[in-house]
Amino acid sequence: MSRIRSKDTAPELLVRRLTHKMGFRYRLHVKHLPGKPDLVFAGRSAVIFVHGCFWHSHGACREGRTPSSNQHYWLPKLERNVRRDRANLRELKRLGWRVLVLWECQLKDTAKLERRIRKFLERPARPDSSR
């Protein structure tokens, strides 16, 4: 587990390269925001998280399943991750940020991924945004 990284993962780098290629500029892992989002677009009041299906328990895909062995360790660990993710998303939205969560399994179709990111980022920021 010491080789598991929280930053600069292959899925995150893919999203960063694609977003940069589309002309969007961002900051990385802004520490003062809840959950330290992977990409922060401050001028657009938007953040993107790139979640690994296993580590964040993505129920919609095969990789998000809980391991059958050592469940007394994995179940609480993965549940804490899910609770923390929900709390971070709630807090970001309360602060006026728009949030996009991209799952690792959704990154295979780059054309579809590009359309989704573009649609999210080109949507205007909410006028009630206080930043």
- Spell out the long-range contacts of 58-67 with Cβ–Cβ below 8 A and sequence spacing 24 or more: 58/103, 58/104, 58/105, 60/103, 60/105, 61/103, 61/105, 63/104, 63/105
Question: Is 123 a residue whose pLDDT tops 80?
Answer: yes
Topology classification of domain 10-22+53-122: Endonuclease; Chain A (3.40.960)
pLDDT for the residue numbered 3: 56
pLDDT tens-digit series, residues 40-74? 999 999 999 999 998 898 887 888 778 888 889 98
Residue 46, classed as helix, strand or coil, is strand
pLDDT for 65 equals 79
pLDDT of 27 reads 96
Q: Give the residue with greater pLDDT, 3 vs 60.
A: 60
Instruction: Classify residue 29 by burial, with Cβ atoms within 10 Å: 0-12, 13-18, 19+.
Output: middle
Percent of the chain at pLDDT above 70?
A: 90
Q: Where do the domains of the chain lie?
A: 10-22+53-122
* pTM score, whole prediction: 0.87
Provide the β-strand partners of residue 28: 39
